[in-house]
Amino acid sequence: MRTRSIFFLALALGCGLVAAVGVQQVLATRDRATPAPVVEMKAIVVAAEDIPMGDPVKITQIKLEDWPKSKIPEGALFKVEDVEGRRTKTKIYKGSPILDAQLLEKGAVDAGAAPWIPKGYRVVSVKVDPVSGSASMLRPSDRVDVVVHFPAMPSKGIPKDYTRTILQNVRVFAVDDKYALTGDEKNQKSIQAKTVSLLVTPEQAEILTAATELGQIRLVMRGLGDNDPVETKGVDPMELLGLPTQGGDPEKEIVPGSEPPGKEDAFAQFLSNQTNSARATPVSTRGSGGQTWAMRLLLGSQVNDVVLEADTDHVWPDAMGTIWRAANNGGSALPAGEPAPTAAPPTSESAPPQDGDLHPPTDSPVPERGSDQ
């Protein structure tokens, strides 16, 4: 019994020893943490504060900052000497790496406007006055909306006066010929401008040019940081006067170049009248075989065909030649029951026509009753 107890005690001690060794090894493995990978760093020039467009960069506006080599953008500069004194082509924000493409060449004071135009953009100039140019408060880099008033020009497809915003949040590239203000110009409260140049995309340049030719442009100044687009529907004088409008109903909206609903074009109506007259049933002469004369009356845009026949039922004293009367009322402008105008064909000894008489052309023969008179 004693031997058996000693055996189990020795077994327990052995298991405890093995467990202790295992735990020790596990803890030792945890203590040996995997070393972090070494990230290679390199110092680049970044903006220590916001740098306005067109200003020469001062040494106090830049600093060196360590960046991971894998994160350094292409064109970054690594020496402050390569940046100091160069003018910026665009505004550079605090903490941003300064790229060579954002700067003019060193020593270049005025390299013209082209280096300042970002890739993919165009510059379009518009004429302004103290009213349309926001009271001369505009300065380069300000933001504006472009509002255009279109006067009614039916010949160009504009049926009525209309005002609407065509472009929003457009950057002012230059005021007159100033696209980079000097120190003295920055202290001016206003610039008496005659032209304002806007930085736009090629598509916006087309829109702006067309609007300049068709209407009157007004530049509406935006507040600093107000860059959100706003939906507007435009306005016409009817709305300003409180008169009823069509409310923008697409089915009732007047398309430029078209007539309002229910109103036909006068010229189209005239052509329709002519077509209807041409399709009218040909006028037949009376079965009696009497003399007839076909006439076409043009009354404004109306075309009417009238057939006259010789009046042989009455004797007209002192009548010169044959007396004519309306043979039918089809296609005539004369209402039924009213006497038709009379006309006498030309004779060898013609006299001045009487009031109300209609005469056929003198160079046309007069149809006879069937035998020569």
In the numeric block, which tokens belong to residue 326? 């309306």
Strands 122-127 and 143-150: unpaired
- Residues 89-93 have a mean pLDDT of 85
- 50-54, 169-173, 255-259, 363-367 — which one is most confidently predicted on average? 169-173
Strands 195-200 and 41-47: unpaired
Q: How far is CA 72 from CA 93, 94, 97, 99, 189, in A?
A: 17, 16, 8, 10, 40
Going by CATH, does the domain composed of 41-102 fall within 3.40.190.10? Answer: no
Give pLDDT tens digits for 15-36: 888 888 888 877 777 656 566 6
Give pLDDT tens digits for 94-113: 999 999 988 888 766 656 77
Q: Is the pLDDT of residue 253 over 60?
A: no
Strands 216-221 and 62-68: unpaired
Distance CA 15, CA 12 (A): 5
* CA-closest candidate to residue 208, choices 176, 256, 170, 153: 170
- Residues 327-331 have a mean pLDDT of 51
The mean pLDDT value of the chain amounts to 73
Q: How confident is the model at residue 178 (pLDDT cuts 50, 70, 90)?
A: confident
Q: Is the pLDDT of residue 52 over 80?
A: yes
Question: How much is the pTM?
Answer: 0.44
- Residues 319-343 have a mean pLDDT of 52
Distance CA 217, CA 149 (A): 7
Query: What proportion of the chain, given as a percentage, has pLDDT over 70?
Result: 64
- Give the start-to-end residue ranges of the domains of the chain: 41-102, 114-240, 264-373
Alpha helices in the chain (DSSP H): 2-31, 183-186, 202-214, 237-240, 266-278
Give pLDDT tens digits for 192-251: 788 999 999 999 999 999 999 989 999 999 998 888 989 988 888 777 777 766 544 444
